[in-house]
Amino acid sequence: MSAILLFMAVIALIVGWWLAQQRLTAKPWLEEGAIGDFPGTGAMALPAAKIGLGVFLAVAGSLFALFISAYYMRMNMVDWRALPVPRLLWLNTGVLVLSSVALQWAHVGARRNDMDRVIVGLCAGGASAVTFLVGQVLAWQQLSVAGYFVTSNPANTFFYLMTAAHGLHLMGGLVALGRTTAKVWHGAEMTQVRLSVELCAIYWHFLLLVWLVLLGLLTGWTDDFVDICRRLLN
Amino acid sequence: MVDVPYGATAGIPPAEVEEVELYHPKSWWTQYVFSQDAKVIAIQYSLTAAAIGLVALVLSWLMRLQLGFPGTFSFIDASQYLQFITMHGMIMVVYLLTALFLGGFGNYLIPLMVGARDMVFPYVNMLSYWIYLLAVLVLASTFFVPGGPTGAGWTLYPPQAILSGTPGQDWGIVLMLVSLILFIIGFTMGGLNYVVTVLQARARGMTLMRMPLTVWGIFTATVMALLAFPALFVASVMMLFDRLLGTSFFMPALVEMGQQMNYGGGSPILFQHLFWFFGHPEVYIVALPAFGIVSDLISTHARKNIFGYRMMVWAIVGIGALSFVVWAHHMYVSGMHPKFGFFFATTTLIIAIPTAIKVYNWVLTLWRGDIHLTVPMLFALGFIVTFVNGGLTGLFLGNVVVDVPLSDTMFVVAHFHMVMGVAPIMVVMGAIYHWYPKVTGRMLDDWLGKFHFWVTFLGSYLIFFPMHYLGLLGIPRRYHDLGEAAFIPSSAHTLNAFITVAALIVGFAQMVFLFNLVWSLFRGRPSGGNPWRATTLEWQTPHTPPRHGNWGKELPVVYRWAYDYSVPGAAQDFIPQNQPPATQAVQGAAP
Amino acid sequence: MAVAIILLLVAVGSVLFHLFSPWWWTPIASNWRYIDDTISITFWITGAVFFAVIAFMAYCVFRFHHKEGRRAAYDPENKKLEWWLTIGTAIGVGAMLAPGLVVWHQFVTVPADATEIEVMGQQWRWSFRLPGKDGRMGTSNVRNISSDNPLGLNLDDPHGQDDVVIESGDLHLPIGKPVKVLLRSVDVLHNFYVPEFRAKMDMVPGMVTYFWMTPIRTGTFDVLCAELCGTAHAQMRAKVIVQEEADYRAWLDHQQTFAELSGRITAMKTTYKSGGEQEKPLRR
């Protein structure tokens, strides 16, 4: 359970940092009056959708951290046989990085009021994300052709399960991205899509980060890293 | 909501703000069925939760009939008994209490209490309810599938949950897991709304430290639920894999009824860790909203500010954080590494300290108060008695070595029913009597309410207090029949029969309550906008019941905390949160 | 007024019920009297707090209930009082936790001279295994389980051959000798529960769990299953009989060893391959 506890500690730090600015030690019964006297303690000025995305990322992060915790606990059992990571995953990783870069590009374009750039960025990002998903399915196919079925070993099951969970999150993102692109296509103003583009970019970066962590886990790098940490501590 | 700078309200035509902000229902269907108004969604959530809760109540009667008079009711056999306890537990904890406190009270009270027009994502909020309803329907459907609902116990421990020695192995367990997954998806949608609404849509002047404790409780519980429910989600998905595809996440090599099974290498304890990583915060997900609501009930009906407001807020936040590092106290005798016992016993007993502070502050609020013994106040007092009782027995079960003889006995059943069954239900009832006038514009009948309270409170106490002693004697839980055992005296059977009679009477009192709800809807005394003379914003709405958009043309502005009761020198014994200070009102009038 | 009295009656009644309840723990039959003592300490502390809080609340209701013209005090907080209450609570919690942890330390520290015995649970009966003349138990594996070998012992482990296997009988234990009870399950979770012993632990398929205790009085005690294990959970019974050493020996001499049971007396000859596959206890 160390992965999820680490994740919770990070969340606790963020929440604690935010609460620390909210004057939780104030004596509210002495502070009658308008809010103007206590700047920064009112409602957040950020758009609701952006805060909502932030909270959602915490939930999704918790989900993946729990998968990782379960992975580590299950992995120490005797019957665990790590499976070879298909080369294709490296290509897929590259494609996902491209996808993230394209959306960042669109996001910068949106800030600079450059609609052409936004369109190119959104389309490139969407296309490469779809390519990534196709690549993941191909990787599954390669594995099952090579005899690594879902049920033959828990390592295989975790591989399919975690890549599927990540893929489903990406597909959810594609729905949002598709709606934004459609809006742009139908000639929406920049002000109407700027926020959506930004949120898509943030979500894409998050999923890229999750993917890199999962990749590290599945290739066994994370193990080596954890081992080194352990040795340093001992 | 748009962040309106201070003093600019007058500059912006309110109608315009409303047009941008609010979704307008266009037909009866979108107003009352597929509604995006948090208040309608709250009522939908509450009615659905109550309906499935009634099913769970009936299941508890059947269980008690079997326990009180074993062998008398031939239509209840061992399998059915297990199915009843499983469904009763799961429905009560997840589908009733969680849904009611967060989906019901959260949806109704958060926007009103923080001075918002609605939740920030009304469409997602609507989806949340419909997915919840779907989850409830899937759960209810297990009563009608071949093999019936699962009888694995609400903890659904593998391997037993998915093997054939347990009833409902074919369909019941699969549909249960699907239903939980749906519930979590639906809840996450709602939860995002509650959290972001508190963060972003508070009225001007509503700083965190001016929020009523109800909002603090629901807000913190929602944050916890958002982070904890994924653990149940992960566990459910993995168990579905084990059940449907034959993988071995939780399934070790095993022999079932003489047959070697295909599983191998998995860890049942892994499931328990995931389950309780959700399961323990879940206790506080139910408790924290109850803590918050009861604070407001006591303060309002004792006409006195809540004692130690800051400590109350810190305790809520502290309990919320600590509750993530105590989960394995449910697993002291699970076979996990014994060293963990030291850590989890310590964290568990530490969490008792902030909880105790909350109790002290509730009773100290009564001290030198002006206690109106209204029905909500009575339920609040009932809550304190049952919560103190159940909380203190938690110190037995949390203290690792004391838990060893008591675990899996009726002591555990009595403990958790007292602390997270009866106590939160007391708050739910008190809250319904308290806010019903705001929801409907009419008061609930007082006499019926008092009858309902006394029967429910004393009856539940008589059910669960003696039950501890059956556990102390050593009677295990989840037995449909105690059978022959030398250590069980015949008086234990008498006590069981007594408990059953008490349970049936308490159940009957709930029917009186339902009657009161319906009758008062038509015949109740009109309540006016603020019958309890309360300070918080929901009582200051221009209309009762509040209309779509809650606040008429202008959003309220908050000038004070939620507990200005009996302020020295004030004309009335309460000052609403949106009433400007005397000096400022004069200044405002001058130009 | 009536409300205050009823609340007080609830508190008084609870205490009286506790004092005069005919339902109390069974007379102890193991060395875990310390566990009972810890429960008693916890009862005293929590009982005092319960009575104090409810009685105080009842007094408040009696003294401060609404009358015409009463006005509540304005009393936002009292730092000093809150600190004292916090410190007092912390001391009370410490007074329960400290003995609890000390006894837990004893509970998980198995004495070196404890005899290992094995209890195996399956749906829905108990089997027992005692070490043979060599004083050691052989290794086992779920995969070996068959109708000839219901406990799944490793056939080529010499230590297992003389193990005493009790398939459907009662477990006998000698008085005054510490035993380490190894717990195994072949199918689902079970829990070896003898109320008089106080100690109990889940039996988890795929691993070996344990607890230890010393029987301190002779008698026959019921074994129940304390972890839901399916339809016949409530009927999963056996008996433990604690005897004087001599009686125990007499009983033991009449039991069959694994080798006798599986008809392989010949296997006793020199197949000294040390150890077999042993299922590792999972330490998570």
**pLDDT tens-place string over residues C101-148:** 999 999 999 999 999 999 999 988 999 999 888 888 888 888 888 887
C281, C205 contact by CB (below 8 A): no
Same domain, C122 and C191: yes
Strand extents, DSSP E, B440-526: none
CB contact under 8 A, C101 and B345: yes
> Tens of pLDDT along B209-219?
999 999 999 99
Between C82, C108, C195, which is nearest B487 by CB?
C195
**In this structure, how many other beta carbons lie within 10 angstroms of the beta carbon of residue C220?**
12
Same domain, C213 and C103: no
Facing residues of C223 across strands?
A: C238
CB contact under 8 A, B6 and A80: no
Q: Which residues of C touch A76 (CB under 8 A)?
A: 284
CB contact under 8 A, A27 and C280: no
Q: Which domain holds residue C34?
A: 2-66+81-108
Q: Which residues of B touch A35 (CB under 8 A)?
A: 6, 204-207, 558
- Grade residue B20 by pLDDT with cuts at 50, 70 and 90: very low
Q: Which residues of B touch C72 (CB under 8 A)?
A: 302-304, 368-370, 565-566, 573
d(CA A9, nearest CA chain C) in Å: 21
Q: Does A26 touch chain C (CB under 8 A)?
A: no
CATH code of the domain containing B283: 1.20.210.10
Same domain, C192 and C215: yes
- Grade residue B19 by pLDDT with cuts at 50, 70 and 90: very low
- Total domains, chain A: 1
Same domain, C55 and C185: no
In a domain, C75, yes or no: no
With CA atoms as reference, the chain C residue closest to B262 would be: C143
Same domain, C227 and C91: no
Of residues B129, B276, B306, B136, the one with CA closest to residue B212: B306
**What is the average per-residue pLDDT within C52-62?**
95
Output the pTM of the full model.
0.92
Q: Does B569 touch chain C (CB under 8 A)?
A: no
CATH code of the domain containing A187: 1.20.120.80
Q: Does A74 touch chain B (CB under 8 A)?
A: yes
Answer whether residue C238 shows pLDDT above 50.
yes
Distance CA B534, CA B298 (A): 11
Between C66, C74, C186, which is nearest B568 by CB?
C74
**Cα-Cα-Cα-Cα dihedral sign, residues B59, B62, B64, B67:** negative
Residue C251 burial (C-beta neighbours within 10 Å; 0-12, 13-18, 19+): middle
- Total domains, chain C: 2
**What is the average per-residue pLDDT within C80-97?**
94
Residue B62 C-alpha from the chain's centroid: 23
Count, residues in chain C: 284
Interface test with C, best of B160, B276, B566 (most C CBs within 10 A): B160
In a domain, A115, yes or no: yes
HSE at residue B210, side-chain half, CA atoms within 13 A, is 31
CB contact under 8 A, B559 and A32: yes
In a domain, C10, yes or no: yes
Q: Which residues of C touch B466 (CB under 8 A)?
A: 17, 21, 23
With CA atoms as reference, the chain A residue closest to C280 would be: A78
* Residue indicated by tokens 């809150």: C82
ipTM (interface predicted TM): 0.94
Same domain, C128 and C219: yes
Of residues B493, B506, B424, B492, the one with CA closest to residue B461: B506
Count, residues in chain B: 591
d(CA A185, nearest CA chain B) in Å: 24
Q: Which residues of A touch B264 (CB under 8 A)?
A: 79
| B578 contact partners, CB below 8 Å, separation of at least 6 | B115, B203, B537, B540, B556, B557, B558, B559
Between C77, C90, C235, which is nearest B308 by CB?
C77
Same domain, C99 and C235: no
Distance CA B48, CA B45 (A): 5
Answer whether residue B554 shows pLDDT above 80.
yes
Same domain, C173 and C36: no
Q: Does B395 touch chain A (CB under 8 A)?
A: no
In a domain, A31, yes or no: no
Q: Which residues of C touch B408 (CB under 8 A)?
A: 191, 193, 200, 226-227
Q: Does A144 touch chain B (CB under 8 A)?
A: no
CB contact under 8 A, B573 and C71: yes
Same domain, C250 and C173: yes
Answer whether residue C284 shows pLDDT above 60.
no
The conformation of residue B30, written as its DSSP 8-state character, comes to I
Q: Which domain holds residue B407?
A: 36-249+267-589
Mean confidence (pLDDT) of chain B: 90
**In this structure, how many other beta carbons lie within 10 angstroms of the beta carbon of residue C127?**
20
Distance CA B576, CA B205 (A): 13
Same domain, C136 and C261: yes
Could you tell me which chains touch chain B, where touching means 3 or more CB pairs under 8 A? Answer: A, C
Q: Which residues of A touch B265 (CB under 8 A)?
A: 77-80, 154
Between C152, C206, C233, which is nearest B267 by CB?
C206
CB contact under 8 A, B163 and C228: no
> Tens of pLDDT along B80-101?
999 999 999 999 999 999 999 9
Same domain, C253 and C129: yes
Between A29, A73, A78, which is nearest C284 by CB?
A73
What tokens appear for C119 in the block? Answer: 């209890």
**Residue B587: per-residue pLDDT:** 45
CATH code of the domain containing C237: 2.60.40.420
**Residue C178: per-residue pLDDT:** 95
Distance CA B227, CA A61 (A): 9
In a domain, B259, yes or no: no
d(CA A6, nearest CA chain B) in Å: 12
Collapsed DSSP state (helix, strand, coil) of residue C127: strand
Least confident stretch, A32-46, B318-332, C178-192: A32-46
Query: For a pLDDT cut of 70, what percent of chain B falls above it?
Result: 95
With CA atoms as reference, the chain C residue closest to A1 would be: C284
In a domain, C200, yes or no: yes
Interface test with B, best of A21, A22, A151, A162 (most B CBs within 10 A): A151
Q: Which residues of chain A have pLDDT under 70?
A: 35-40, 234
In a domain, C276, yes or no: no
CB contact under 8 A, C77 and B479: no
B38-68 vs B107-114: helix crossing angle, rounded to 10: 140
Answer whether residue C230 shows pLDDT above 80.
yes
Q: Does A18 touch chain B (CB under 8 A)?
A: no
Same domain, C169 and C199: yes
Count, residues in chain A: 234
In a domain, B303, yes or no: yes
* Residue indicated by tokens 């006016």: B528
**Residue A33: per-residue pLDDT:** 78
> Tens of pLDDT along B347-395?
999 999 999 999 999 999 999 999 999 999 999 999 999 999 999 999 9
Between C104, C145, C224, which is nearest B476 by CB?
C224
CB contact under 8 A, C231 and B167: yes
Q: Which residues of B touch A25 (CB under 8 A)?
A: 310
With CA atoms as reference, the chain A residue closest to C206 would be: A77
Between B311, B346, B404, which is nearest C200 by CB?
B404
- Rounded (10°) CA dihedral B367, B368, B372, B376: -30
- Rounded (10°) CA dihedral A100, A101, A104, A105: -140
- C105 phi/psi in degrees, rounded to 5: -60, -45
**How many interface pairs between A and B have CB atoms less than 8 angstroms apart?**
169
**Residue B274: per-residue pLDDT:** 95
> Tens of pLDDT along B250-269?
999 988 888 888 888 889 99
In a domain, B417, yes or no: yes
B66, B78 contact by CB (below 8 A): no
In a domain, A92, yes or no: yes
